[in-house]
Structure 1
Amino acid sequence: MSEKRKEKLYKVAANRQNLTVILENVHDQHNIGAVMRTCDAVGIHEVFILYTDARQKNITLSDLKTTSTGVKKWVNIHLYNDLEKCISDVRSKYKFIYATHLDADSKSIYETNLSESVALLFGNEHAGLTEEALRMADGNILIPQVGMAQSLNISVACAVTLYEAFRQRQNADLYSDSIDDKNAYNQKVFDEYLNTHNEAYLRGRLNSKS
């Protein structure tokens, strides 16, 4: 591995955040791929993808990784069919879960603290989030709009929300190109990236000889 490549992996790992995304019953694989690329861009290391719809429960991890070419090695995908298990695992890592949902009590993303340890919950392209998922969230957030439709494509809504989180975190100096002794999580991510790179390199060498 070149020093330039190693430095790139180090900086990416150093900037990974305590921020994640949960997608519930999002069926369009292109939307999932777009969300994954945005997650990588703002420093998210893992996403949680949940299918409670019986028509989608046969989707596999391999199916999802096919849609996220380019970032699948750097953003981990956790696939679930059980809502309670998914939320439980998310809560073991992140302090708050905010659902993107238009409601009388919803807060604007610009009035919500997204610099904390947060998981952002997005729903299906047509039906939105299930009532069960909404009940498990700590609150609802929305993207202010002044148009007639009052709706955005899931990948667009995710990008807008994540870049507001990015802005807030930049202002709070939460991005850094270095890993100090207190950042055990980021060091773990860096070690994982080194292993991923080395494994890919070895596979490439073996394939070239076959």
Structure 2
Amino acid sequence: MTPERIARIKSVISHRQFDLTVVMENVFDPHNISAVMRSCDAVGVQELYVLNTRIPPHKKWGAKSSASAAQWLTIHTFTDVQTCFAALRKKYQKIYTTHLSSTSVSLYDLDLTQSVALVFGNEAEGVSEEVCRYADGNFLIPQVGMVKSLNISVACAVTLYEAFRQRWQAGFYQQSDRFQPQKTALEKLWLQQNENS
């Protein structure tokens, strides 16, 4: 492995946000999943939760150009809602769903510097009522157009970049000692996996 490759790996890991994650519920288009993975990697989200209760498990994550992001993420897959959210509660303080309701708040009113899991539903129905019951609140992305919803991968990207903005301003990406044990373990894993490159 070249010194440049090692330096790149260490730089990427130094910015990983181990207290921010995304959950996808029954998202059936592999290309949408791949796009979400790319957004996660881009803003330093390391863990991704894929919950499939009504669709078969995905055998691949989409086109090769998008699927490469999967190798840099820790992906947890679940087929049971309760088990998935029990795992989330052990690691994240808040769980928010993208769900339109009378109690929904604007994305821009959320504090995304806290330990948080962001839940996105499938292309046809959004987040299910069952999953909403496990959340601490719902949020929406403000829109002024005729169409009232965004593609799931776009909604996820918009949300993650708001989290990125808040966390960058808070100095989280500049604090290389945040989550040092997790970063050390991840660096060891990535260096092992890429030792022949």
- Match for residue 207 of structure 1? none
One-letter amino acid matched to 1:16? R
Q: CA separation in 2, counterparts of 1:36 and 1:131?
A: 25
**Number of positions where the alignment pairs a residue of Structure 1 with one of Structure 2:** 195
Contact 2:31 2:61 in 1 (8 A): no
Q: CA separation in 2, counterparts of 1:181 and 1:107?
A: 29
Contact 2:51 2:80 in 1 (8 A): yes
Q: Does 1:51 align with 2:48?
A: no
Any idea what the Cα deviations from partners look like across 1:144-184, whole Å, max 9, x if unmatched? 111122100000000000000000000000003x7438621
One-letter amino acid matched to 2:182? Y
Contact 2:61 2:67 in 1 (8 A): no
Q: Does 1:186 align with 2:187?
A: no
Contact 1:179 1:187 in 2 (8 A): no
Q: Does 1:26 align with 2:27?
A: yes
Max Rg structure:
1
Any idea what the Cα deviations from partners look like across 1:28-68, whole Å, max 9, x if unmatched? 11000000000000001110000111xx1x324x4237775
One-letter amino acid matched to 1:94? Y
Q: CA separation in 2, counterparts of 1:46 and 1:104?
A: 30
- Match for residue 208 of structure 1? none
Q: Which of 170, 190, 193 is the equivalent residue of 1:196?
A: 193
Say which SS state the counterpart of residue 121 (structure 1) adopts. Answer: strand
Say which SS state the counterpart of residue 194 (structure 2) adopts. Answer: helix
Query: In angstroms, what is the RMSD of aligned CA positions?
Result: 1.8
Q: CA separation in 2, counterparts of 1:30 and 1:190?
A: 28
Residue segments in structure 1 that go unaligned for 5+ positions in a row: 205-210
- Match for residue 130 of structure 1? 128
Q: Does 1:6 align with 2:9?
A: no
TM-score normalized by structure 2?
0.93
Q: Does 1:170 align with 2:168?
A: yes
Q: Which of 86, 89, 107 is the equivalent residue of 2:87?
A: 89
Contact 1:94 1:119 in 2 (8 A): yes
Q: Does 1:35 align with 2:33?
A: no
Contact 2:34 2:70 in 1 (8 A): no
One-letter amino acid matched to 1:197? N
Per-residue deviation, 1:136:
0.2
TM-score normalized by structure 1?
0.87
> Percent identity over the alignment?
47
Residue segments in structure 2 that go unaligned for 5+ positions in a row: none
Contact 1:14 1:187 in 2 (8 A): no
Contact 2:30 2:62 in 1 (8 A): no
